[in-house]
Structure 1
Amino acid sequence: MVFLGLGLLLLTLKYLELGPVALWSWYVVLAPFGLAALWWAWADSSGYTKRRAMEKLQKRKQDRIEKQKDALGLGVRKRR
């Protein structure tokens, strides 16, 4: 996401011819988009994306279970 944001910023600066970016090569300006594509390809092939999605679902499930336990009064008991 960082590469995509940086690419959009550099593309806008190049298009509007603002600052030193106006003098840069188009290859340099468009490089963050290539890096973003490489990142997404690696994340998908390595299982990083799927692992993060599974962790997020597991956390939501655990939070839901804890909320239901608290609602039923079965939460963690205090020591006497």
Structure 2
Amino acid sequence: MLFLITGIILLVLWYGEIGPVATWSWYVVFAPFGLAVLWWAWADATGYSKRKAVEKENAKKKARIDKSREAMGISPRKKR
């Protein structure tokens, strides 16, 4: 996401001819978009995206269970 935001900012600065970015080559300005594509391809190929999604789901599930136990008057389990 950082690459995408950086690319958009550089593109706006380059297109609006603002500051030193106006004189940069278009290769430099569009490089963050290429890096974003490479990052997403790597994250999908290695399973990084799926692992993060599963971790997020597990954290939500644990919070929901703890909230339910607390509502019933049962203290949530503590780590040993």
The two structures have a TM-score, normalised by structure 1, of: 0.93
Q: Distance in 1 between matches of 2:63 and 2:54?
A: 14
Q: Distance in 2 between matches of 1:68 and 1:32?
A: 45
Structure label with greater radius of gyration: 1
* Corresponding residue for residue 25 of structure 2: 25
Q: Distance in 2 between matches of 1:64 and 1:52?
A: 18
* Corresponding residue for residue 59 of structure 2: 59
- Cα root mean square deviation, aligned: 1.2
| Matched pairs, number | 77
* Corresponding residue for residue 38 of structure 1: 38
Q: CA deviation at 1:46?
A: 0.4
The two structures have a TM-score, normalised by structure 2, of: 0.93
After TM superposition, where is structure 1 displaced by more than 2 Å over at least 4 residues in a row? Answer: none
Identity %: 59
